[in-house]
Amino acid sequence: MRRRKLCQLLLSCASLTGCLSASAFAADLSIRKAPAYAPFTWTGFYGGANLGYGWGDPQITSLITAFVDPGPAASSAAAGTSNSARSALGGFQAGYNHQIGSWVYGVETDLEVTRLQVVNPAIGTSATAFAGIDAASLQTTSNATASIDWFGTLRARLGFARGRVLIYGTGGLSYGLIRLNDGVFFNGFAGDGGALVAFNSTGTPKNSVVKGGWTAGGGIDYAYTDNIILSFAYLHVDLGSLSEFSKFKRPNGGASTTVVRGWAFTSTRYDFDVVRMAASWKL
């Protein structure tokens, strides 16, 4: 009987000890705080590389003429317009974002290498006069080309962030290296002291010009990790226009009063659209 009471006493003590231990453990859990994790922020510098595709102008318009003055065939003219250009492109981008609440303010710059180029269909026109010592002829031809070798932008950005997704609009300045070659060639013959003399001459094209303009667009960024940012963007880039004027004049010699004249006016506008994918490392 005493042994049974002793066992019951021991069991009661063990139960009491277990309850006290559980209470102490629960109290300890209530005191400990869960580990704190800082929320993702878009604030910081970033930089990376991109690949994309461009399409649109440069589109060339050319007008050429040939004159024999005076003469039975006074003048003639021809005009032509090229198709649009398309090209792959690639380059680098860098920028800085500052987040206030859900709004993200930033600035970004990039530099892209491309080969947007068009070639105008060959066009030609001629004027001829056969009148003794005043005989003369001029043919004017053109095969113009225009291209963009590289371009860059410097843009402000304003976006709205939803966690790791950022949707933004952007706009600012653009600049790039553009080329225009009118491909003009003048050739023919004219009297010179009673004899007919052949001649030829080329236009005076510009080699290359760095021009500035504007750009605008938008895109979406996704923070794949705290440091890796994946992006898709669209930009419209306008680098303005460029034109060339080439001319030729040659009078007949001797007693002739005939003069051959020719000129070519070539112009193009450098504006195009870009889509690109980019990967950046955020500091």
Tens digits of residue pLDDT in 127-152: 887 667 778 888 888 888 888 999 99
**Strand partners for 30:** none
CA distance 192 to 179: 38
* Residue 223 CA, distance from chain mean position: 25
Per-residue confidence band for 277, with pLDDT thresholds at 50, 70 and 90:
very high
Helix (H) or strand (E) holding 80: strand 75-81
What per-residue confidence (pLDDT) applies to 80? 66
* Cα 236 to chain centroid, rounded: 7
pLDDT score of 26: 46
- Distance, in Å, from the CA atom of 49 to the CA atom of 97, rounded to the nearest integer, reads 17
The size of the chain, in residues, is 283
How do 145-162 and 165-181 pair as beta strands? Answer: antiparallel
Using CA atoms, how far apart are residues 187 and 157, in angstroms rounded to an integer? 54
Would you say 148 and 89 are in contact if contact means Cβ atoms under 8 Å apart?
A: no
Cα 28 to the center of its chain, rounded Å: 62
Mean predicted confidence (pLDDT) in 250-270: 81
pLDDT at 25 over 70: no
- Lowest model confidence (mean pLDDT) among 92-106, 116-130, 186-200, 245-259: 186-200
Confidence tier at 117 by pLDDT (50, 70, 90): confident
Instruction: Please provide the average confidence, as pLDDT, over all residues in the chain.
Output: 82
- The one-letter amino acid code at 95 reads G
Q: What sections of 46-186 are H helices per DSSP?
A: none
Amino acid at 67: F
pLDDT at 87 over 50: yes
| Residues β-bridged to residue 199 | 188
Higher model confidence: residue 32 or residue 52?
52
Which whole number is the average pLDDT over 53-59? Answer: 83
Determine contact, residues 84/77, Cβ cutoff 8 Å: no
Lowest mean pLDDT among 1-5, 165-169, 256-260: 1-5
Q: How far apart are CA 95 and CA 263, in angstroms?
A: 48
| 56 pLDDT more than 60 | yes
Instruction: Write the Ramachandran bin of 164: left for phi over 0, alpha for psi from -120 to 50, otherwise beta.
Output: alpha
pLDDT digits (tens, 9 = 90+) for 238-248: 999 988 888 88
| Percent of all residues in the chain with a pLDDT value above 90, rounded to a whole number | 42
Residue 252's pLDDT is 77
pLDDT value of position 10: 41
Query: CA 238 → CA 117, 135, 141, distances in Å?
Result: 15, 48, 30
| H/E element, 23 | helix 2-31
Q: Record the tokens describing residue 171, joined without a space.
A: 């706009």
Roughly how many angstroms between the first and final C-alpha of the chain, as a whole number? 78
Q: Do the beta carbons of residue 126 and residue 142 sit within 8 Å?
A: no
